[in-house]
Amino acid sequence: DIVMTQTPLSLPVTPGEPASISCRSSQSLLNSDDGNIYVDWYLQKPGQSPQLLIHTLSYRASGVPDRFSGSESGADFTLKINRVEAEDVGLYYCMQRIEFPYSFGQGTKLEIK
């Protein structure tokens, strides 16, 4: 199985400040046929089910604010929040979708300072 490793596991952020979460995969997530990178990001707000934020590396899901963005840098995938708001608290997960079983990172808990 592909292992997804997230850092940091805990992320205290002041409202209005940026935040960044990294995810590294144990294998390439690049599909050589279509050129896409199959990593997704989910947010699980307290007491809720996970919700899709970003799919296929950098595409925002429907209704997701544009302060959220996804990118890659070398072997790392990054979720960035431009200006954190109080409603952004929760657990953030990356997930690889290049091969089954799809696998998730351990989760990063974002909290407001």
Q: Are 111 and 13 in contact (CB under 8 A)?
A: yes
One residue of 61, 64, 67, 80 binding other proteins per CB under 8 A: 61
Tokens of 11: 């992320």
Per CB under 8 A, which region of 10-18, 42-50, 64-72, 73-81 contacts other proteins?
Answer: 42-50
Residues of span 21-40 touching other proteins by CB under 8 A: 40
One residue of 23, 78, 79, 105 binding other proteins per CB under 8 A: 105
Q: What DSSP string runs through 23-44?
A: EEESS--B-TTT--B-EEEEEE
By beta-carbon proximity to other proteins, the closer residue of 9 and 75 is 9
Q: Which of 40, 41, 28 is nearest to 2 (CA)?
A: 28
Q: Which of 111, 84, 104, 112 is nearest to 10 (CA)?
A: 111
List interacting residues with other proteins (CB under 8 A): 1, 40, 42, 49-52, 55-56, 61-62, 93, 95, 97, 100-107
